[in-house]
A and B are shown apart, each in its own frame.
Chain A
Amino acid sequence: AQTVTQSQPEMSVQEAETVTLSCTYDTSESNYYLFWYKQPPSRQMILVIRQEAYKQQNATENRFSVNFQKAAKSFSLKISDSQLGDTAMYFCAFRSGGSNYKLTFGKGTLLTVNP
């Protein structure tokens, strides 16, 4: 079974600075999908970014980018120019590329952006 590990339960960053959230995963598959979800205090789950394992290029969405290291099974999220609205719980998630639709989540990292 796949596992997803987020080693930082909590992090903080000053507004306008850059922060990186770590995620590692364990799988024997070569084709899979990785996601970062954001959960603000409103409890809503919001997709931040996704990466397809067969794509070498790191995904980017505005201030959010990933560092995907397939051999190391690492999928970190970098947030540039942090804003107060980035304060949230961030979850890393893994989905197999086979017929299995299941999404496996890490335990989350609580990010606080300080003014």
Chain B
Amino acid sequence: NAGVTQTPKFQVLKTGQSMTLQCAQDMNHEYMSWYRQDPGMGLRLIHYSVGAGITDQGEVPNGYNVSRSTTEDFPLRLLSAAPSQTSVYFCASSYSKNSPLHFGNGTRLTVT
């Protein structure tokens, strides 16, 4: 029972580099989302998806791109990394609106 799997766990990037954070869930959840966590800021929503082929912006979408080609996968792309994107990133999914979110274990990203 894998749940929500995020890779990698840690990543260091140089300013301007691009990369993709991977997220996969095996619970057949329609809703998936990406959050970033910064000290003193809580968790802020970056992008979310309510099903394959459907994505929308959250609170802090700038500099990030997502796609949802399958129910299972929801990758987050950093187009041109900036030091302001240094953060811990969480992927989360849920079955329905009144179901709690299931979180991945997070990715700590450092941009130098």
Contact = CB atoms under 8 A, between A and B. Distances in A.
Given A43-B88, A43-B105, A44-B105, A33 B98 contact: yes
A105 B43 contact: yes
Contact of B48 (A9, A91, A102): A102
Contacts of A103: 33, 45, 92, 101
Contact size class for B? 20 to 34
Contacts of A50: 100
Given A44-B105, A47-B100, A101 B31 contact: yes
A97 B97 CA distance: 7
Nearest to A95: B97
A68 interface: no
Nearest to A43: B106
Interface of A: 9, 33, 35, 43-45, 47, 50, 52, 91, 95-108
A95 B31 CA distance: 13
Majority DSSP secondary structure for residues of A touching B:
loop
Interface string B25-67: 0000001010100001111110010100000001000000000
A47 B103 CA distance: 9
A107 B42 contact: yes
A45 B98 contact: no
A4 B87 CA distance: 21
Given A102-B45, A106-B42, A44 B97 contact: no
B90 interface: yes
Contact of A101 (B42, B48, B105): B48
Nearest to A102: B45
A104 B58 CA distance: 10
A101 B43 contact: no
24 contacts: A9-B40, A33-B98, A35-B101, A45-B92, A45-B103, A45-B106, A47-B101, A91-B43, A96-B97, A97-B97, A99-B97, A100-B97, A101-B31, A101-B33, A101-B48, A101-B97, A103-B33, A103-B45, A103-B92, A103-B101, A105-B35, A105-B42, A107-B42, A108-B42
